Amino acid sequence: MNHSASFQKNYAGNIIFFTCLFSLFYAILRYHIFGLVPWKDFPFLILNKSISLAAFILLTFNFSIGPLKNIGINVPEGWLNSRQVLGMTAFLLVLIHALISFMVFKPEIFAKFFEENGSLTFYSGLSMLGGIISFVVLWAYNLAFKTTMKEDQKFISFITSRSFLLIAMLFSLMHLFFMGFEGWLNPADWNGGMPPISLVAFSFFVVGYIINLFGRK
């Protein structure tokens, strides 16, 4: 009976489902319906965008639910119980996003991120650096609770500390900002008036960062 009650109070499944659904439809509307991206690019390019958006939204939820409660907001128990599953799912989505991006990130497809000689632009380099550091931090964060490292209280205390997580989140913001800020400055060019996915993800993460800044202990 207690197990059943505990299960009912975990909203992770619904949160993940609706987040992924929103991200998928947003990407399809912006790039296929209102944009000029051909449907042949959906399986890799556009689906990858929706995966990245879902990952950042779930990460925001995962890191912000606890701090939201700390600042006095009434957070349902089901949301609090969902954090671990949300974090694991977000990490898997980030991993998929990283693998797909690695395969398609080339001058022929993303010309704006490369110089004429094939090297990364300055802003692209900063974005990639932020993305790599964010991925490594997230990987270490998840791994810490599933290996013998979880027995090292000093390590756990460090990797879950307020200062470490706030700095780690800055690298995620850095990845999003330098990846797309140039496109954010031209609303007239937004497909269907819909902001770029990088801006949507950045906005979610900024809100999450502010919540953590004031609510994380």
Q: What residues make up the domain containing 117?
A: 2-215
Partner residues linked to 124 by β-bridges? none
Nearest to 104 by CA among 32, 182, 46: 46
Q: Which sign does the torsion angle of CA 39, 101, 192, 210 carry?
A: positive
The pLDDT of residue 2: 47
d(CA 64, CA 83): 9
Q: Which sign does the torsion angle of CA 39, 45, 48, 52 carry?
A: negative
Partner residues linked to 114 by β-bridges? 120
d(CA 98, CA 85): 20
CATH number of domain containing 118? 1.20.120
Partner residues linked to 12 by β-bridges? none
The pLDDT of residue 150: 58
Query: Chunked in runs of 10, what are the mean pLDDT values of the chain (217 residues)?
Result: 55 96 98 95 94 96 93 91 92 94 89 90 94 89 67 74 89 94 92 95 95 91
Kindly compute the dihedral angle of the four CA atoms of residues 68, 69, 75, 81, in this order, to the nearest 10 degrees: 100
- At 180, phi and psi to the nearest 5? -135, 5
| pTM listed for this prediction | 0.89
Residues shown for the chain: 217
- Residues 154-174: tens digit of each pLDDT: 777 787 788 888 998 999 999
Split into its structural domains, the chain has a count of: 1
Nearest to 59 by CA among 14, 91, 107, 23: 91
